[in-house]
Amino acid sequence: MPDFSFELEIGGRVAGVDEVGRGPLAGPVMAAAVVLNPDDIPEGLNDSKALSAKRRAVLYAELMARADVSLGSASVEEIDEHNILRASHIAMVRAIAGLLVRPDHVLIDGNMVPRGLNLPATTLVKGDARSLSIAAASIVAKIRRDALMVDLAQQHPGYGWETNMGYPSKSHKEALQNIGVTPHHRRSFKPVHNILYQEK
């Protein structure tokens, strides 16, 4: 279970940062930055993947009310231009920049500090299962990206985005073949690229 030990050891205002959406074939990559109030941390924070949808929604509402929360994203165009790793780092930097108060230190899920982050930072592999701040960021990022994909599914029915969130499920890949590529698909990702540039 994640705890607050990293934040306490570092001291000051520590932001946890996590991204969601590196694997999908469609939609942006999103990152969240969260600075928890040490005296008012919602109970039950955990890696978003370990929580039920109902519990995630409750914790999301509590975080929005009780923490400094910011979201950043990188578009499909930016993913195709830079690559998914760089785009996820761009989203992280944007999320951190959007916080109401500039943090003293950033805890980042993963093993790389994003380029252009002009703040002291520590990387934590599997950070969403180790740090409460990163766990909080994982919840916010997932809730917001899922909501966006459900919205996009209304505009582009048939791909199952309301359930697969743009990930390469069997039905999503079949829809790509049968319906074609939308403006929200990542053209640099192999299954999409292969359909666009099929050898005649």
| CATH number of the domain enclosing 110 | 3.30.420.10
**What's the average model confidence in pLDDT over 16-34?**
98
In sequence order, the 6+-apart residues with CB closer than 8 A to the CB of 170 are none
List, as residue ranges, the binding site for a divalent metal cation. Answer: 18-19, 109
Q: Which two tokens stand for residue 23?
A: 């694997």
Domain that holds residue 30: 5-143
| 199 has pLDDT over 70 | no
- Report if residue 187 sits inside a domain: no
List, as residue ranges, the binding site. Answer: 18-19, 109
- Report if residue 137 sits inside a domain: yes
Number of domains present in the structure of the chain: 1
- Report if residue 77 sits inside a domain: yes
- Report if residue 10 sits inside a domain: yes
In the chain, the percentage of residues whose pLDDT exceeds 70 is 99
CA distance 7 to 57: 24
- Report helix, strand and coil shares of the chain as percent, to nearest 5: 45, 15, 35
CA distance 141 to 20: 6
pLDDT in tens, 47-73: 999 999 999 999 999 999 999 999 999
| 200 has pLDDT over 50 | no
Its pTM stands at 0.96
